[in-house]
Amino acid sequence: MNDRPNVVIDVAGLTKTYASGELQVQALRGLTFSIDRGEYVAIMGPSGSGKSTLMNVLGCLDRATTGTYKLDGIDVSQLDDNQLAEIRLKKLGFVFQGFNLLARTDALRNVTLPLFYAGMPAKERERRALERLTEVGIGERARHKPTELSGGEQQRVAIARALVNDPAVLLADEPTGNLDSKTSSEILALFDRLSAGGRTIIVVTHDEGVAKRSRRILRMLDGVIMSDAPAGAPV
């Protein structure tokens, strides 16, 4: 049972060590923090700071070496690979810089994929997918393939897909990295609306402008959180 019901991510003493030949590289060094439901958090840091490693651990794509990580009250460090896959499907939504859409499949079918893997009936999958496409402002493009959509529209489809299972956390990795400044602003405005609607959002970015749209920024360097402060606070 979750004794801290408002905490959706709870990390304590998290480390990640990689073997590089005979060397041991510490990518994460004893991180401890929590994120409440409905928070909009940015994780910032230069290349090699550990932010991508942390994203992979939070997304259950990789395992920590030591420490504990509880997601929505579940200690994921105790789960096997099949259980981790189920957690990713049910509790997490992913948005990537490269969209990761199926090129020959229309927007609606792209969004239904997580529901297909979850075993939902076809009619309910389509209904839910169209709801999410409408939520992100692209419902009228549901039958268009990615090649028929602009970059911003493709990212909206990817966001709809990330939301279709109603995840506990939306994880976005450099979500505006492949977009021009106008389209980036539109996507960030969408994140603002999702946050205002109560979604829990974590954005990993090297872009100060993107990070400042969040409500809280974790700044990383050499595998350590150097600061954890509201967005807009002095650096």
Per-residue pLDDT, 235 = 64
Three-state SS for 227? strand
Give the model confidence (pLDDT) of 49-83 as tens digits: 999 999 999 999 999 999 999 999 999 988 999 99
Residue 104 lies in a domain: yes
Q: Is the residue at 33 inside a domain?
A: no
Q: Does residue 60 sit within a domain?
A: yes
Per-residue pLDDT for 2 more than 60?
A: no
Q: How many domains does the chain have?
A: 1
Phi, psi of 227 (to 5 degrees): -155, 150
Per-residue pLDDT of 112-137, as tens digits, reads 999 998 889 999 999 999 999 999 99
| pLDDT of 1 | 46
* CATH classification at residue 210: 3.40.50.300
* pLDDT the model gives residue 20: 79
Identity of residue 186: E
Do the domain assignments include residue 23?
Answer: no
- Model confidence, pTM: 0.92
Average pLDDT, integer, range 17-42? 93
Average pLDDT of the chain is 92
User: Would 124 be classed as within a structural domain?
Assistant: yes
DSSP string, 45-66: --TTSSHHHHHHHHTTSS--SE
Position 30 in a domain: no
Position 16 in a domain: no
Query: Contact 36/7 with Cβ under 8 angstroms?
Result: yes
Q: Which domain holds residue 210?
A: 38-64+77-230
21 lies in some domain? no
